[in-house]
Amino acid sequence: MTLAEEITFGGADFDRLALLRRDDARITHLLRQPETRVLPIWRNRVPVDGNDRLFMAPADHPVFADAVAPAAFLGLREGRALFARDISAWGGDSAAPVGGGAWDSTAHHHPETPDGCVFVDLRQVMFRLSPLDAELAAMSIGLFAWHRHHRFCANCGAASHITMAGWQRECRDCGRQHFPRTDPVVIVLVTSGNDLLLGRSPGWPEGMYSLLAGFMEPGETVEIAARREVFEETRIKLGPVTYLASQPWPFPSSLMIGCRAEATNRTIEIDSQEIEDARWISREEVMAAWANPGGAIIAPREGAIASFLIRNWLSGRLS
């Protein structure tokens, strides 16, 4: 797909300089440089100013007084080192749970950040951020979520320790190394002539429909997973499956793998354990839903791969 790198969280051409992560002295030196900037992350939320830019500060800024671990090295941009640091121990707004949640629209101001700067769930602002800010935010949210959920060695159960400038954990008891995980998810744009197959899960905003998706299982190719998920949820069978685009989805650790396929049957039988509804919707009905946000069918969230793929399908740019 020629436009695949225009997707949210893709295409910033950011240099992560992963080889530097093992050089503790160099990382420490970079962190102390006055031009270095550090992104604070609070309870899975990112700080965004009134101009839809991430708030970043030097490493000795007071916003980092409540940091719970050393800063993680993100990479280098135009000669400036960029880091992120988890400040979730800040308790100024203790009502806010860790994680926020998919539909969390709350905003939280930290007194050490500028007026107008608030910590919000990344999904609320991702489509308004610059490509670089979106990638930095996705990296940081995903990385710190992994640390929060993997504090103990999966092999022996002992507490593990952060290494490699934030990109690895090691167990000093058994020696096992642990790496940030990514869980692949297939998401499939299924068509039948002029119609698009859309479904909805329980708990989504009323009227919202999106592409069918599901986690890949061990031993599956992307194509097999796409066929299995669509058939399990709707009893629709697919012709050839082709890859379109991917999107990191750090809530907490998914990689969305976008595919398309033409259905070979039309009769939908939903699995009510998996989804609440599924239906064929014509191109004209989808276009109307996009044009009229208050209608009976609500489009998927802007910035998510489903929205990206459907928009490109509508405009005939999926090839």
Question: Which spans of this chain sit near Zn ion (rule: CB under 5 A)?
Answer: 153, 155-156, 158, 171, 173-174, 176
Distance CA 85, CA 110 (A): 15
- 151 versus 317: smaller Cβ distance to Zn ion: 151
- 164 versus 198: smaller Cβ distance to Zn ion: 164
Q: How far is the CB of 56 from Zn ion (least distance, A)?
A: 35
Compute the CA torsion angle 49, 51, 54, 59 (nearest 10 deg). Answer: -60
User: How many CB atoms lie under 10 A from the CB of residue 42?
Assistant: 26
- 32 versus 161: smaller Cβ distance to Zn ion: 161
Q: How far is the CB of 171 from Zn ion (least distance, A)?
A: 3
Which tokens belong to 319? 């090839």
Q: How far is the CB of 167 from Zn ion (least distance, A)?
A: 18
Q: How far is the CB of 148 from Zn ion (least distance, A)?
A: 18
DSSP 136: H
Q: At what angle do helices 305-314 and 283-291 cross, to 10 degrees?
A: 120
Q: How far is the CB of 70 from Zn ion (least distance, A)?
A: 21
Q: Chain-centre distance of CA 190, in angstroms?
A: 23
- 103 versus 179: smaller Cβ distance to Zn ion: 179
- 161 versus 266: smaller Cβ distance to Zn ion: 161
Phi and psi (nearest 5°) for 313? -65, -45
Q: How far is the CB of 152 from Zn ion (least distance, A)?
A: 8
DSSP 70: P
83 forms beta bridges with 38, 73
Q: Chain-centre distance of CA 314, in angstroms?
A: 24
- 65 versus 156: smaller Cβ distance to Zn ion: 156
The three-class DSSP label of residue 154 is coil
Which tokens belong to 120? 């919000």
- 175 versus 193: smaller Cβ distance to Zn ion: 175
Q: How far is the CB of 26 from Zn ion (least distance, A)?
A: 28
Q: How far is the CB of 177 from Zn ion (least distance, A)?
A: 10
Compute the CA torsion angle 70, 73, 74, 76 (nearest 10 deg). Answer: 140
- 31 versus 171: smaller Cβ distance to Zn ion: 171
Spell out where the chain has E strands.
37-41, 45-48, 72-77, 80-86, 118-121, 161-163, 168-170, 177-178, 183-192, 195-200, 212-215, 238-249, 254-263, 277-282
Amino acid at 166: G
